[in-house]
Chains A and B, each alone.
Chain A
Amino acid sequence: MKKIIYSIFFVMTVSFIFSACSEDWLEVLPTDGVSDAGVTASTRTAMASLNGIHRALYVRYGSQGRCGLGAWFLHIDEQGEDMVFNYATWTTHLRWLHRSATSSYNERNWLMFYGWIANANVLINGIDENTTGSQDEKDYIIGQALLYRAYCHYQLVQQYGNRYVPGGGNTQLGVPYMTEATTEGQPRNTVEEVYQYINQDIDDAIIILEGKSRMNKSHLNVDVARGLKARVALTMGNYATAVTYAQQARVGYELMDSATYHLGFYTGSQGSGEYMWATQIQEDQTDKWGNYGAYVSRNFSSTSIRRNPRSINNLLYDQIADTDVRKILWDPTGDHLDLEARGIEIVASAKRYPYTNQKFIAVSTSDSRVDVPNMRVSEMYLIEAEAQARRQGNDPEAAAALYTMAVARDPSYILSINTGQDLIDEIMIQRRVELWGEGQRFFDLKRLNLDLDRTGSNHRESVNGGLMQVPAGDTRWTSLIPQDEMDANPLMVQNDL
């Protein structure tokens, strides 16, 4: 640190001595930033910028409750029915207040994704033959930037556009698909167009990332690209595509065995075959109170977790088989005695409520780090199973895909003999249990055009502001465009109020 300070003084002194009053000497570039051209001068600088995006996935966006992608996953789950609050803190998304045009959550989430997109665009459009470095390195960077661009727009269009209707024209307005870093306001593309662009970016990324190894699971590779392609295809109702890509994406990964799964999700993603893409929070760059694990883990001692440990919907919990390892990941008594037996402390002042999760375990009561599970291999099996089941006549294939995943969780699981809607229902239950807290449920409800129904469960009106039911198709399923965007972009059109 001292060295850095000395060199800053040195640089400042030298620049002072050599600066004259001529205009040529005026430094017009800011000293705390770097120009777009500077970013893409070499693959080394471009890689630093890409690492900046990986890092940006877990910084704070204006408030403690908005710490990047992990917070976003929680927001998306909170908007559904499977994640239950026990106390009314950080309830914006739980109560669907986020959709208001002036909600800071609405505004910041929108800005967060578009910020990552703008950074990705600088790389995508700036890296060319003038950039020094090998083509391999350039592809590695551009491929990931394309994936980020696709991923971010995919999140945005699901929240801000009316649902993608499989087989429909989808001419309803989506979001502007930004392909350039510009400060000029852009008009909204239709939902169909947005999905076209998303697929195009993923396809391009698959081509140039093929065969490239990555440095760390916080980076994106061709498997993540295929996994994302499968996810998107499921949303679009392109079930054949979803099956193909889900199968390809999972090659080389391995479902966690039940002994490992039983320990919960913590910081071990790098060495686990289960994780396809995870954000690993660096110990010296952690946001103690803002991290994903500062809200969703059971053992970290934060105001949020002490007062409002997250529970699973008891109706969903009841559907988990007793022999299933996941039965242990939520404790119907809320006492978590087995955690204590394993030496994992929950502070005494932390409130106990039924059905709280121990799926996520932070490093300790004072270190909230948990690897953020951005994509896991079990989801690929679930996508394959669901997509097969929704295609006519593919029930056996669906049951087989489900079996692989389900038996890894429950040794007593037997191949499903369900067919048709019963099979679909079974798969969806598995999906909800498996992906709890990972940012899927609300989007699942929306893509399938299902009602939100929290009635009859452990959801309490006094906590969620009385938001117990929202019928499918209600205008509230789509967030309003942030007012700041409306004010500054004359081409922007607001959603139905």
Chain B
Amino acid sequence: MIGTIEFYHRISDNLLFDVPLPLSSGLSSKTENIGALFNQGIELGVNVDVVKAQNLVWNVGLNLSTLKNEFTRLPQDEIISGSKKLMVGRSIYDYWLREWWGVDSDDGAALYRADDVEASSVRIKGNDTLTTDINNAKYKYSGTAIPDIFGSLTSSLRYKGLELSFMFTYQAGGLVLDYNYQSCMSSGTYGTGYSIDILNRWQEPGDITDVPRMDDTQTSNFNATSSRWLTDASFLNLRNLVLSYDIPENLTRRLGMTRARVYFSGENLFLINARKGMNVQQNFSGTTSNVYTPNRVITVGVNVNF
């Protein structure tokens, strides 16, 4: 068994960053050396030969990492950039989003925590002061894109000519802001594809659901970017698997071959995560967009040497 444990604490200073400017200056941002942050974490690697005999070899490896990212200095108190807000003591991947509350079971309206509690769009539910107007929805720190742990698990097993190896990648914790899902839940345009979750939409008073009524006139409110689209980013992915068999030498020699191997190999054979079709590994920042998801590739073949 061999293994390593590493602890790292890396300080980055004088970071170049696009600092947002008031748009009324005529510019949207300027590049500045805005500050300092550190990345810190543990990296653990273990490799175990579970069995090491003449005909049977089994090796298992595990990789596990953690990451903590924190600003230690910024030129201004806060910088809001896209779905994130940067502050000292916070990470570069902390979500700053309007706070989703749920769906009003009376009329199927989307409800958000209200910022201005005096506004006309305000509704009271229990102890909560809520709004149907996205522009009045309150912003809030809503978790981070950074996972608690992430890494991979590999295994390689060989018995005589037969070999089976695979690699899983995984992550636990972290949130993904699933823009793709958001667009598949929008009722704003005719003739577009939907997520199957749209079947759960509110339809009549009393319906308890987390999908608002389908209302073409209200998409900018009901389908807006908010903490509603945050999804657990934990996943387990069978990244690749190879099963191969070396045909015994006495057989190959008779056929005039020096070596022959049949194999099956698969990539991305399965991915378990919170939502089918979601690819959480797209971006460090945790957002999704319309890009190709990793293909599932299956290869079956024969390798012959003469």
Contact = CB atoms under 8 A, between A and B. Distances in A.
Given A183-B27, A467-B217, A88 B22 contact: no
Contacts of A103: 220
B106 interface: no
A176 B24 contact: yes
B217 A118 contact: no
Contacts of B224: 102
A119 B25 CA distance: 10
B28 A111 contact: yes
Contacts of B121: 497
Interface in B105-129: 116, 119, 121
Contacts of B217: 95, 465-467
A175 B225 CA distance: 27
A392 to B, nearest CB: 38
Interface stretch (B130-138, B149-157, B159-167, B168-176): B130-138
B190 A462 contact: yes
Contact of A497 (B27, B119, B225): B119
A118 B216 contact: no
Given A480-B135, A485-B22, A488-B20, A118 B190 contact: no
Interface string A96-117: 0100111100010011001111
Contacts of A186: 22, 24
Contacts of B116: 497
Interface string A422-451: 000000000000000000000000000000
Contacts of B189: 88
Interface string A70-104: 00000000000000000010000001010011110
B257 interface: no
A interface, over-half SS: loop
A484 interface: yes
B30 interface: yes
A200 interface: no
B23 to A, nearest CB: 4
Interface in A443-497: 462, 465-467, 480, 482, 484-485, 487-489, 492, 497
B26 interface: yes
A497 B27 CA distance: 25
Interface in B178-206: 188-190
Contacts of A110: 23-24
A497 B188 CA distance: 21
A353 B206 CA distance: 42
Most B Cβ at <10 Å: residue of A100, A115, A116, A487:
A487
Contact of A111 (B23, B134, B216, B225): B23
Contact of B135 (A101, A107, A175): A101
Contact of A102 (B22, B24, B26, B225): B225
A119 B27 CA distance: 10
Contacts of A492: 22, 24
Interface string B3-36: 0000000000000000011111111101000000
B190 A485 contact: no
A185 B22 contact: yes
Contacts of A100: 134-135, 220
B30 A183 contact: yes
Given A466-B216, A497-B121, A114 B26 contact: yes
A349 interface: no
Contacts of A97: 219-220
B272 interface: no
A96 to B, nearest CB: 9
A175 B216 contact: no
Contact of B26 (A95, A115, A185, A467): A115
B80 interface: yes
A487 B80 contact: yes
A110 B121 CA distance: 26
A47 interface: no
Interface string A227-268: 000000000000000000000000000000000000000000
A124 to B, nearest CB: 13
Given A466-B217, A487-B80, A183 B23 contact: no
Contacts of B23: 107, 110-111, 114, 482, 484-485, 488
Most A Cβ at <10 Å: residue of B21, B25, B30:
B25
B133 A497 contact: yes
Interface in B61-76: none
Contacts of A114: 23-26
A297 B21 CA distance: 37
Given A88-B190, A465-B216, A497-B116, A117 B135 contact: no
A181 interface: yes
A182 interface: yes
Interface string B285-299: 000000000000000
Contacts of A466: 216-217
Interface of B: 20-28, 30, 80, 116, 119, 121, 133-136, 188-190, 216-217, 219-220, 224-225
23 contacts: A95-B217, A97-B219, A97-B220, A100-B220, A102-B225, A111-B23, A111-B26, A111-B28, A117-B26, A175-B24, A178-B24, A178-B25, A181-B26, A185-B22, A186-B22, A186-B24, A462-B190, A462-B216, A465-B188, A484-B23, A485-B24, A487-B20, A488-B23
Given A186-B22, A485-B22, 16 more contacts: A88-B190, A97-B220, A102-B225, A111-B28, A114-B23, A115-B26, A183-B21, A183-B27, A184-B25, A185-B25, A465-B188, A465-B216, A465-B219, A485-B23, A487-B80, A497-B135
Interface of A: 88, 95, 97, 100-103, 107, 110-111, 114-119, 175-176, 178, 181-186, 462, 465-467, 480, 482, 484-485, 487-489, 492, 497
Query: What are the 10 closest A-B residue pairs judged by CB atoms, nearest first?
Result: A118-B26, A489-B22, A466-B217, A185-B22, A487-B80, A115-B26, A111-B23, A488-B20, A114-B26, A183-B25
